Amino acid sequence: MRYDDRRAAGRVLAEALQELRGQDVVVLGLPRGGVPVAAEVAQRLGAPLDVLVVRKLGVPEQPEWGFGAIGEHGVRVLNRDVIGEAGLGSAEQEAVEAAERAELERRVRSYRRGRGALPMAGRTAVVVDDGLATGATAEAACRIVRGQGAIRVVLAVPVGPEHSVARLRQVADEVVCPQTHPVLGSVGAWYRDFAQVSDAEVTSLLAETARSMSRSPTAAAPANREVLIPAAGAQLGARLVVPEGAPAAVAFAHGSGSGRHSPRNRYVATALNRVGLATLLLDLLTDDEAHDRHNVFDILLLARRLHAASVWLRRETGLPVAYFGASTGAAAALEAAALSGSEIRSVVSRGGRPDLATPAALTRVRAPTLLIVGSRDTQVLSLNRLAADRLHCEHRIAVVPGATHLFEEPGTLTTVAELARDWFTTHLDQPTARTPRRSA
């Protein structure tokens, strides 16, 4: 099947990406040809559009044969197989990169017109091009946005060779490519109209999409505010989000060295907000306290503060409360849930250390508890299994395949968010003593 033009290809991609509508998404077009495709995707998802400037490094005398690509912020991706086959020395590579780096900087100035790039931290980045050849440019683009803090990277292209798509699935969390072929040939062959895109057209599309976004009516955003919570001798910074009609609120207990700005917990919180749950992203220590490692591992102190915050949250919102804990925060969540009269509805742990909670607290927990651990985080997985043996409540261990402790591997944090979402929405009723349930 051939696409009529790039806009038509964008409409096909947008249909495949509809699940992202309403999420915290930035659509990024690779100039020049990827921008008309990306503009269509952005418009149909109701998402902001930006450019991601990446330049292919072509073999001298055969510039269409790419030996790598470069991007903003000094990113470089090299194809060692092509370099070896072409017999390129370091001097030749450096000369090509210097020329392409100058062109890259020129384009950034031209397209952005002095404005900064859209922020990526804690968001989903959808990288769009009009097709794949070797995939080096797309790989560089994915690595750039990952380095800028994107919590999820989706690569969307209308057409590409099977081998490139397979390789890029190791770089992006998801690759959307409606047409894959064993042998692709020219990308332009899959379009009826594949006219060259000018710099002026790229700039115009960016401006047009920005104007459209400013005119479009948007759904009411959930109440979202920074608050200070008095808890166990401190004023704790927190970020409260309450969607309209929320049935429950989830308080986040962060791990050592982290806080309410954690991109991973923000990603999970956003996923919970999308299904209508309120969230409280909370600093359990002040900035001064966090510098003392003893405080970081003072589980009882963290638990007292989390409990105080949950009392405040229940009073502020009128909602029942659940806990999401990461690393040492998971131990604090279980300790707090074990306190008499806590009335916590459920607990989810991500890469947690429930073994750091006291054995007595573990036996007293009555809130249904989900322990999420990466399959490659073997030591922590063993510690979770030991802690689970002490739990007398309904509980489960969910092992995420291929994940390490921080769930940095493509797709693994999305799995965490889905598991947490399902656990919280399934256990909205008041917790009662249940028959333990285990699975790995």
Q: Name the residue ranges covered by the structural domains of the chain.
A: 6-215, 223-426
Q: How far apart are CA 259 and CA 378, in angstroms?
A: 25
115: closest CA among 50, 43, 25? 50
pLDDT for position 320: 95
The tokens 């028959």 sit on which residue? 435
- The pair of three-digit structure tokens given for residue 142, joined into one six-digit string: 């994915």
pLDDT for position 433: 42
Q: How far apart are CA 165 and CA 175, in angstroms?
A: 7
**Class of residue 112 by CB neighbours under 10 A (exposed 0-12, middle 13-18, buried 19+):** middle
Q: Please indicate whether the domains covering 6-215 and 223-426 agree at the CATH topology level.
A: yes
Give the CATH number of domain 6-215.
3.40.50.2020
Q: Do the beta carbons of residue 424 and residue 250 sit within 8 Å?
A: yes
Give the angle subtended at the CA of 409 by the CAs of 65 and 151, to the nearest 5°: 90
| Average pLDDT by stretches of 10, the chain with 440 residues | 92 89 89 94 91 88 83 80 91 93 87 76 91 86 84 94 92 93 89 92 84 57 77 85 93 81 85 92 83 81 94 93 95 94 93 95 96 96 97 96 90 91 87 44
pLDDT for position 115: 67
Q: Do the beta carbons of residue 350 and residue 416 sit within 8 Å?
A: yes
pLDDT for position 214: 59
pLDDT for position 427: 93
Give the CATH number of domain 223-426.
3.40.50.1820
Helix H or strand E encompassing 63: strand 62-71
Q: How far is CA 218 from each of CA 44, 222, 232, rounded to the nearest angstrom?
A: 13, 12, 40
pLDDT for position 257: 64
